[in-house]
């Protein structure tokens, strides 16, 4: 006799779900200022003009590999503003404010995911801290750059970002290409971790076209989205397992691939770190020196270079996080809980996302003390020091001026 199996639920059994505020609620709670909006838009327009060959300066995406300390990030931004003003004739300087970190296996996923670096993953607080940090940096007159790792979180922050990257691990992702096709900002696609440049060129082509796809609205409901295509995208050469690709012959090969794809005038950004430095931060100045030499040669390669990326911090090198702190009580409970006694969390979204910048600074100090971290030192990839950064940017500005003279 045929036995009828009893039905079982197919609902996910391996996840816990907690709701977050919508992008619209977050933006209303932590709005950008009129000055910040002006800074963001001006940098977007200028970066787009450089990528399209209508501005002869270079874009410089420079800053920490990842931001983990609000206090240090703001100090870095303040210093960078001085350099930005000094080199404005030759360089458009945009600060790396990378709040998400992609991982090949496991590891700390960034300020957004785990703002207190202790495995408690206080994501709601990470969202608030991240948006406030981006707002504060742009209010200082410094445009921000980031990598959009999670397509689903982009709407929380995109209005405060002037340039974005799609990384080597997600360059072939259809959702990311579709996302970029609808963004109103310039985006760089990195070559793959293996070193394939063609996938980045394909991504530039794909994101420049119209797409129809599913995505959440700013209110949080799923929608059908029809994008118009983003023509302000470009390739980022970052090297890979096959070796570095910042050299002149490798850049020329990228120019050829772009030309074959009908993107003759589209600029190229060269990453001084990652595979191009063989993951040795001390080699970044050597990569920069080679780029400066290429810029001063009167060639098609020189004119195709639109920018550089540098991983830089207040102090050089990197430091490791403790292997695991378990599900310990978060620093947040010591520094950012504004709820009444007996309440574990405020119930209102406005209270939950309320702006308390002085507490965020205190939380940064407490986090450093708790984890024994050095101030201004990366917790992910190694970075060059501030002094080295100043020298690299000075040399780059000189090379850009020489390129301009060669063309004239």
Spell out the domain ranges in the chain. Answer: 23-315+357-407
Orientation angle between helical segments 123-139 and 70-86, nearest 10 degrees: 30
What pLDDT is stored for residue 339 in this prediction?
Answer: 35
Could you tell me how far CA 307 lies from the centroid of its own chain? 15
Mapped onto helix, strand or coil, the DSSP state of residue 63 is: strand
Q: Which of 194, 188, 381, 379 is nearest to 284 (CA)?
A: 381
Q: What's the mean pLDDT in 189-194?
A: 98
Tell me the per-residue pLDDT of 135-168, one tens digit each, with 9 for 90 and over: 999 999 999 999 999 999 999 999 999 999 999 9
CA distance 224 to 5: 38
Tell me the per-residue pLDDT of 367-378, one tens digit each, with 9 for 90 and over: 877 789 999 999
Q: Which of 102, 155, 87, 147 is nearest to 127 (CA)?
A: 155
CA distance 268 to 373: 36
pLDDT at position 350 over 80? no
Phi, psi of 149 (to 5 degrees): -80, -50
Mapped onto helix, strand or coil, the DSSP state of residue 259 is: helix
Q: Are 175 and 151 in contact (CB under 8 A)?
A: yes
Total number of residues shown for the chain: 408
Q: What's the mean pLDDT in 63-72?
A: 98
Angle of CA points 361, 336, 315, to nearest 5°: 25
CA distance 175 to 211: 10
Q: Are 192 and 199 in contact (CB under 8 A)?
A: yes
The confidence band for 131, taking pLDDT boundaries of 50, 70 and 90, is very high
Q: Are 79 and 386 in contact (CB under 8 A)?
A: yes
Q: Which of 167, 102, 96 is nearest to 134 (CA)?
A: 96
Q: Are 383 and 318 in contact (CB under 8 A)?
A: yes
Q: Provide the H-helix boundaries in 169-325.
A: 174-181, 198-207, 248-260, 284-295, 300-304
Provide the sign of the torsion angle of the four alpha carbons 399, 403, 406, 408, taken in this order.
negative
pLDDT mean across residues, the chain: 90
Spell out the CATH class of 23-315+357-407. Answer: alpha beta
Tell me the per-residue pLDDT of 203-214, one tens digit each, with 9 for 90 and over: 999 999 999 999
Give strand ranges (E) for 210-341: 211-216, 222-227, 233-237, 268-271, 305-311
Q: Provide the H-helix boundaries in 140-263.
A: 154-157, 174-181, 198-207, 248-260
CA distance 138 to 38: 9
What separation in angstroms does the CA of 379 have from each of 106, 322, 323, 370, 397?
14, 10, 12, 14, 29
The confidence band for 335, taking pLDDT boundaries of 50, 70 and 90, is very low
Tell me the per-residue pLDDT of 283-301, one tens digit each, with 9 for 90 and over: 999 999 999 999 999 788 9
pLDDT at position 346 over 80? no
What pLDDT is stored for residue 298 in this prediction?
Answer: 78
pLDDT at position 389 over 50? yes
CA distance 177 to 166: 9
Percent of the chain surpassing pLDDT 90: 79
Phi, psi of 335 (to 5 degrees): -125, -25
CA distance 62 to 309: 6
Q: Are 143 and 153 in contact (CB under 8 A)?
A: no
């Amino acid at each position: 006799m045929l036995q009828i199996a009893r039905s079982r639920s197919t609902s996910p059994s391996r996840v816990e779900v907690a709701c977050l505020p919508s992008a619209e609620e977050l933006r209303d709670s932590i709005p950008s200022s009129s000055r910040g909006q002006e800074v963001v838009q001006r940098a977007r327009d200028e970066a787009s003009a450089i990528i399209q060959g209508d501005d002869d300066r270079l874009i410089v995406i420079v800053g920490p590999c990842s931001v983990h300390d609000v206090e240090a990030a703001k100090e870095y931004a303040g210093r960078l503003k001085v350099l930005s003003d000094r080199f404005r004739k030759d360089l458009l300087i945009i600060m790396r404010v990378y709040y998400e970190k992609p991982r090949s296996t496991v590891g700390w996923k960034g300020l957004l995911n785990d703002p207190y670096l202790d495995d408690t993953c206080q994501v709601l607080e990470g969202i608030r801290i991240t948006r406030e940090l981006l707002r504060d940096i742009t209010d200082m007159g410094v445009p921000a750059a980031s990598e959009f790792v999670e397509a689903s979180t982009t709407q929380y922050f995109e209005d405060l970002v002037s340039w974005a990257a799609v990384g080597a691990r997600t360059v072939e992702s259809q959702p990311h290409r579709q996302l970029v096709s609808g963004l109103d900002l310039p985006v760089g696609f990195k070559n793959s971790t293996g070193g394939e440049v063609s996938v980045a060129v394909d991504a530039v082509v794909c994101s420049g076209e119209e797409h129809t796809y599913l995505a959440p609205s700013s209110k949080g409901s799923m929608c059908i989205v029809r994008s118009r295509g983003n023509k302000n995208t470009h390739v980022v050469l970052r090297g890979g397992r096959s070796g570095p690709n910042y050299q002149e012959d490798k850049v020329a090969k990228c120019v050829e691939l772009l030309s074959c794809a009908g993107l003759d005038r589209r600029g190229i950004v060269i990453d001084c770190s990652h595979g191009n430095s063989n993951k040795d931060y001390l080699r970044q100045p050597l990569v920069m020196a080679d780029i400066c030499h290429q810029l001063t040669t009167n060639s098609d390669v020189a004119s195709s270079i639109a920018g550089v990326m540098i991983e830089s911090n207040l102090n050089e090198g990197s430091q490791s996080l403790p292997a695991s702190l378990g599900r310990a009580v978060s620093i947040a409970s010591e520094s950012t809980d504004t709820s009444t006694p007996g309440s574990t969390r405020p119930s209102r979204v406005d209270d939950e996302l309320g702006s308390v910048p002085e507490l965020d600074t205190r939380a940064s100090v407490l986090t450093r003390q708790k984890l024994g971290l050095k101030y201004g030192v990366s917790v992910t990839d190694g970075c060059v020091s501030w002094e080295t950064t100043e020298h690299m940017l000075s040399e780059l500005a000189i090379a850009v001026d020489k390129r301009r003279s060669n063309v004239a």
